[in-house]
């Protein structure tokens, strides 16, 4: 089975699995050559922290393979996930010296890092990079706003269903979205990470997953392997229009 969290270090950009989706997507070969000179790959183990909020950050970069989370923590320990970083997603903010959020790898992960200063200089003279970054940032803003509706207005059950449908949809888009038939995927997050994503406790997450299983909305094998027999049913449980959302 194709494991999306597998450790993959490309030989070069032509070999890179995120070549056509990352911040470098619009770059031409001469531009790639210049990026090549300021880039390096870094690997992280599952659970390893990439950077702490407030730390100095002298790189920006793209997730090549694996999954990472962006989280914010209050003084008393309450934490909220504010971003889920998948392959091709961008990490860091050009022009900013310090990290705003904790970045943690939740699976084995590989990043393509660019030294920050040279990257910023290159952005000024390379519209292709800034254009693509703008597009990606606008997409992330839309995703964040969608997420705000989930956090602010949905019930625990709807929140779980929403998260499952997001993951299911993403997996479908990787495996050549056949909408028909059951969807099958593995949860890339622990119950606790799901709770941090959804603004719940891990106990509530566990209870609602059990409830959705009892009601036949999902089928579980083990703790992480999920089958969705009827995706429209899942969408209804998420409180979403059953037609929309295929754009994501």
Contact predicate 64/110, CB 8 Å: yes
202 sits near DNA (criterion: CB under 7 A): yes
For residue 34, what are its two tokens? 């210049």
Q: 85 forms bridges with which residues in the sheet?
A: 68
The answer to whether 111 touches 50, Cβ cutoff 8 Å, is: yes
Which of 10, 17, 118, 199: binder of DNA (CB under 7 A)?
199
Under the binding rule (CB under 7 A), the answer on residue 230 touching DNA is no
| Smallest gap from residue 80 Cβ to DNA (A) | 11
Q: Which string of x and - marks every residue 21-60 that binds a second copy (by CB under 8 A)?
A: ----------------------------------------
Q: Interface with DNA includes 25 (CB under 7 A)? A: no
Q: Looking at 34-42, 60-68, 129-137, 198-206, which segment touches DNA (CB under 7 A)?
A: 198-206
Residue 247: both structure tokens together? 């754009």
CB 205 within 8 A of CB 160: yes
Q: Is 224 in the site for DNA (CB under 7 A)?
A: yes
Mark out the alpha helices in the chain (DSSP H runs). 29-38, 116-125, 127-153, 156-174, 191-198, 202-214, 231-237
Binding residues for DNA restricted to 150-169, rule: CB under 7 A: 155-157
CB of 134 to a second copy, least distance (A): 5
| Mask for 104-143, x = binds a second copy (CB under 8 A) | -----------------------x--xx-xxx-xx-xxx-
Q: Does 152 participate in binding a second copy (rule CB under 8 A)?
A: yes
Please identify, using beta-carbon distances, which residue of 53 and 202 lies nearer to DNA.
202
Q: Is 190 in the site for DNA (CB under 7 A)?
A: yes
Structure tokens at 162: 């929403």
Q: Interface with DNA by CB under 7 A: which residues?
A: 47, 155-157, 190-192, 199-207, 209-210, 220, 222-224
């Amino acid at each position: 089975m194709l494991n999306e969290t597998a450790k993959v270090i490309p030989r070069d950009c032509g070999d890179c699995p995120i070549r056509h989706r990352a911040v470098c997507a619009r770059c031409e070969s001469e531009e790639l050559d210049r990026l090549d000179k300021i880039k390096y790959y870094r690997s992280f183990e599952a659970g390893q922290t990439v950077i702490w909020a407030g730390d100095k950050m002298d790189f920006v970069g793209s997730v090549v393979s694996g999954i990472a989370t962006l989280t914010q923590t209050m003084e008393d320990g309450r934490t909220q996930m504010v971003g889920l970083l998948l392959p091709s997603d961008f990490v860091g903010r050009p022009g900013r010296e310090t990290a705003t959020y904790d970045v943690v790898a939740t699976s084995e992960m590989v990043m393509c890092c660019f030294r920050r200063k040279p990257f910023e200089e290159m952005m000024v003279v390379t519209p292709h990079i800034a254009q693509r970054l703008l597009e990606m940032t606008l997409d992330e803003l839309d995703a964040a706003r969608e997420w705000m509706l989930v956090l602010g207005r949905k019930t625990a059950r709807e929140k779980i269903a929403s998260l499952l449908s997001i993951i299911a949809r993403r997996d479908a888009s990787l495996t050549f979205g056949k909408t028909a038939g059951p969807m099958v995927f593995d949860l890339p997050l622990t119950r606790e990470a799901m709770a941090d994503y959804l603004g719940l406790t891990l106990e509530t997450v566990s209870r609602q997953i059990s409830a959705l299983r009892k009601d036949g909305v999902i089928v579980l094998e083990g703790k992480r392997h999920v089958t969705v027999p009827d995706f429209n049913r899942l969408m209804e449980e998420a409180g979403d229009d059953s037609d929309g959302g295929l754009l994501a």
